[in-house]
Chain A
Amino acid sequence: MTADSAFVARDPAAHPPALTPIYKTSVFRAPHRPLLSLGNTLSEVTGPVFAQHELGPLDADLTRNYARDGGAPIGERIIVHGRVLDGDARPVPGVLVEFWQANAAGRYRHRNDTYDAPIDPNFGGCGRCLTDAEGRYAFRTVKPGPYPYRNRGNDWRPAHIHFSVFGSGFAQRLITQMYFEGDPLLRHDSILQTVADPAAQERLVALLDLNASVPLHTLAYRWDIVLRGRRSTLFENRLQRN
């Protein structure tokens, strides 16, 4: 295996298909033609590289990165942390992890969000960090509230945090959502149900992690992210190098 080894193919069972009528917007935004399978070329095994100095000191602290003069957002203070691993359980260090979410009332700071729950003047709702040498990421925030949206007549999103993850190659690029252990809305959520396999749904749920909490201050949740691994092809690379 070398730095330019191809990634293992995506397991279709791990992901939602494009067309999932329970989530209505997918009906006109799903390609009808099958995807064209492409063995990784150099364009897919490479991807953008980011450096720590590009980030600000408060970028991973959503309780402070939009707070006004000594203020703080209202809500349940939490730490969210975990590791970014590949399919061989190896840490993926130095990759950019970005996250965004609604405030404690379920309202997004976005010009198109018309939900009438209040904006929190001390909460922006986004952050980012780089994974460390062991693939760890961590950020501090307030737990987001559920959020109603126009899908079926009375659909509510469970509390969730959106994640965007870069790997070491563009083929590992992933955007997903993290949910919270024990949320009764999970079994009603149309978007989580786009993933057919209950075991795969389970992998999107963060667990309460009392060991990582700060006593008398902040609760913690743990959620690990797995990106595609590299192929350790025994013969193909040798052929390529002939």
Chain B
Amino acid sequence: MIPRDRLGYLPETPSQTAGPYVHIGLIPRQAGFDIFDNALGETLVTPATQGTRIRVEGRILDGTGALVRDALVELWQANAAGRYAHPADLQGGKAADPSFRGWGRTGTDFATGLWAFETIKPGPVARVGQAPMAPHLNLWIVARGINLGLATRMYFPDEAEANAADPVLNLIEQPARRASLIARAEARDAGTTYVFDIRLQGEGETVFFDI
């Protein structure tokens, strides 16, 4: 049994690195084999999902500028109406979308270091009593050499007004660092792609959150 602390609480289980073979457990196809009938996290959108289709992609760079090719990236986001597919979302007047769980996972490519999601642009969300937040994607990164998963957010470059009022971006004291959370839009044949590179360490370091 886990000993309680002096107030009777249980201490959290310590984190450990996901290691270089995280794919075996979480995306076995990338490790090189198929095992589950239903691969969780592969698909965010189906034809029935409501909202504007977007592609989000980027690379993860270490403190020397080298590609991190063995990372796992998870995405958690609201639907097009700005509602999370979760019972704790108590926002009124925003429709649920049964065709959108809002979560996905992928690995950075072993050759190119690229990660990508095909998803929809989320609407703005607000917890009861809190200021509305600009549309954003919540990203969580684990990899060999990362001892505790890193949480960050991607915001959209075409939401300048909402971004300027976003209560989380405004928590970042240095305005120059806010730019590390705003993606770059690229028009491509298949539609708009948002490019979001994540710098773990050093020049242009991405803002990570203690959530």
Contacts and interface: CB of A to CB of B under 8 A. Distances in A.
Contacts of A194: 16-17, 147
Interface string A73-107: 00000000000011111000000101110000000
Interface residues on B, range: 35 or more
A4 B110 contact: no
Interface stretch (B32-40, B157-165, B185-193): B32-40
Nearest to A4: B88
A28 to B, nearest CB: 4
Interface in A185-228: 191-192, 194-195, 199-201, 203-204, 224-228
Contacts of A45: 88, 127
Contacts of B197: none
B73 interface: no
A240 B130 contact: yes
15 contacts: A11-B12, A15-B147, A31-B200, A36-B172, A41-B168, A46-B76, A48-B102, A86-B10, A87-B12, A164-B25, A164-B26, A170-B76, A195-B16, A204-B16, A242-B129
B130 A14 contact: no
B55 interface: no
Nearest to A239: B129
Nearest to A7: B211
Given A100-B24, A175-B149, 20 more contacts: A11-B11, A15-B147, A28-B66, A29-B144, A30-B145, A35-B208, A36-B207, A38-B211, A41-B167, A44-B138, A100-B22, A110-B32, A124-B24, A126-B35, A162-B16, A164-B25, A174-B13, A175-B142, A176-B15, A241-B128
A157 B16 CA distance: 13
Given A170-B140, A173-B74, A110 B205 contact: no
B94 to A, nearest CB: 11
Interface of A: 2-4, 9-11, 14-18, 20, 23, 25-33, 35-38, 40-50, 54-56, 59, 65-66, 85-89, 96, 98-100, 108-113, 124-126, 128, 162, 164, 168-171, 173-177, 191-192, 194-195, 199-201, 203-204, 224-229, 239-242
B145 A200 contact: no
B89 A109 contact: no
Contact of A3 (B87, B138, B201): B87
In order of increasing CB-CB distance, the 5 nearest A-B pairs are A100-B25, A25-B145, A240-B129, A48-B103, A46-B86
A88 B7 CA distance: 10
Contact of B150 (A31, A47, A226): A31
A32 to B, nearest CB: 5
B18 interface: yes
B25 A226 contact: no
A26 B10 contact: no
Contacts of B85: 48-49
Contacts of B101: 48-49
B208 A227 contact: no
B99 interface: no
A50 B101 CA distance: 9
Contacts of B36: 55-56, 59, 128
A87 B10 contact: yes
Nearest to B27: A126
A167 to B, nearest CB: 10
B141 to A, nearest CB: 10
B11 to A, nearest CB: 5
Given A28-B62, A54-B40, A229-B9, A43 B74 contact: no
Contact of B14 (A16, A20, A36, A85): A16
Contact of A31 (B31, B38, B76, B201): B201
Among B78, B148, B168, B200, the one with the most A-chain Cβ atoms within 10 Å of its Cβ is B148
B24 A41 contact: no
